[in-house]
């Protein structure tokens, strides 16, 4: 466990569990879904990195350059591959001090992902913010599809309200895969009755989440956002991501890679992203 502290913010990180954030607190109040109890999976955590893709790849099959690559179904019983491989692998600690940590994971090609890569993430507390970076380098000998993102779960308190601007929303089918893009202005709504599991594009890079206890602002240089919650959940997932869900297979079916945010990295090339979570007590 790594513990970072700054100006009332405390962040605890579990490198061995997918480089996840076990908890983030401001003066003892949880910002993310947070626990000091031992975790058994990054899926129980407050946040985890998404590499080398976000969300789902349909039926755990990667279609790339005319070849189908069967992948591991890593979130049984659903039939898809989900959230890449980084969240299920141990990360190494390259550097850390009282307010900063750098972690890394090196991926050899395997049944979960057929392209070798290395990835690093940094987490820094500065003032009232948690600042994160994520970078991935293609270490295979062939061009590889790549995506990045984060999967933070924010606490959904009474009278919490989420607001952000976007230009489009991808509707989800019963198989939890995107079906069609529709124009959408984003969301400005009370979280209590919100029922949403969509990827938004044309996102401005800013989300606010406000309640009677905390005011939170999420910022990122990514331009797609997955939001997931419903009335029975006590969290809301607000996920900055680089590409639309199932983008790799949608491109294989004829969609435009740029429209979906899918990146192709040549051998040795790197994709990087950043996100910050700014927190202050409600006044």
What confidence tier does 272 reach under pLDDT thresholds 50, 70, 90?
very high
Pairing of strands 56-57, 49-50: unpaired
Kindly report, residue by residue over 154-182, the tens digit of the pLDDT. 999 999 999 999 999 999 999 999 999 99
- Residue 283: pLDDT over 90: no
* Residue matched to tokens 């989440």: 209
Question: In whole angstroms, what is the distance from residue 153 CA to residue 115 CA?
Answer: 29
Kindly report, residue by residue over 26-37, the tens digit of the pLDDT. 999 999 999 988
Question: In whole angstroms, what is the distance from residue 177 CA to residue 245 CA?
Answer: 7
- Residue 96: pLDDT over 90: yes
Could you tell me the residue range of the domain that residue 44 belongs to?
Answer: 2-281
* pTM summary value: 0.97
- Residue 132: pLDDT over 90: yes
Please report, for the domain that includes residue 84, its CATH number: 2.70.98.10
Question: In whole angstroms, what is the distance from residue 23 CA to residue 20 CA?
Answer: 9
Question: In whole angstroms, what is the distance from residue 259 CA to residue 274 CA?
Answer: 20
Kindly report, residue by residue over 104-131, the tens digit of the pLDDT. 999 999 999 999 999 999 999 999 999 9
Res 26: pLDDT: 98
In the chain, the number of structural domains is 1
**DSSP assignments along 126-171, one per residue:** ETTEEEEEEEEEE-SSS-EEE--EE--EEE--TT-EEEEE-SEEEE
- Report the percent of the chain where pLDDT is more than 90: 98
Question: In whole angstroms, what is the distance from residue 154 CA to residue 149 CA?
Answer: 16
Res 253: pLDDT: 93
Beta bridge pairs of residue 239: 226
What confidence tier does 199 reach under pLDDT thresholds 50, 70, 90?
very high
The DSSP symbol for 247 reads H
């Amino acid at each position: 466990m790594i513990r970072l502290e700054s100006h009332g913010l405390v962040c605890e990180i579990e490198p061995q569990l997918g480089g996840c954030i076990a908890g983030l607190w401001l003066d003892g109040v949880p910002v993310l879904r947070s626990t000091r109890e031992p975790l058994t999976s990054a899926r129980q955590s407050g946040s985890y990195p998404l590499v080398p893709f976000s969300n789902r790849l349909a039926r755990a099959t990667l279609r790339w350059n005319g070849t189908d690559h069967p992948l591991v179904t890593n979130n049984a019983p659903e039939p898809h591959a989900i959230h890449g491989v980084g969240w299920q692998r141990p990360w190494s600690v390259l550097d850390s001090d009282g307010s900063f940590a750098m972690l890394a994971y090196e991926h050899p090609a395997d049944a979960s992902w057929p392209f070798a890569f290395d990835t690093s993430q940094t987490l820094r507390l500065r003032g009232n913010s948690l600042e994160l970076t994520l970078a991935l380098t293609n270490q295979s000998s062939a061009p590889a599809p790549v995506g990045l993102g984060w999967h933070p779960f924010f606490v959904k308190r009474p009278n919490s309200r989420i607001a952000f601007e976007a230009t489009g929303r991808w509707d989800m089918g019963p198989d939890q895969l995107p079906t069609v893009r529709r124009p959408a202005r984003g969301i400005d709504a009370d979280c209590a009755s919100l029922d949403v599991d969509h990827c938004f594009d044309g996102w401005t890079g800013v989300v606010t989440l406000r309640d009677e206890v905390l005011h939170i602002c999420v910022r990122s240089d990514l331009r797609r956002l997955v939001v997931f919650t419903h009335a029975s959940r006590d969290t809301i997932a607000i996920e900055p991501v680089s590409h639309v869900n199932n983008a790799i297979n949608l491109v294989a079916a004829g969609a435009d890679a740029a429209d979906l945010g899918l990146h192709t990295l040549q051998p040795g090339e790197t994709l990087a992203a950043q996100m910050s979570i700014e927190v202050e007590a409600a006044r």
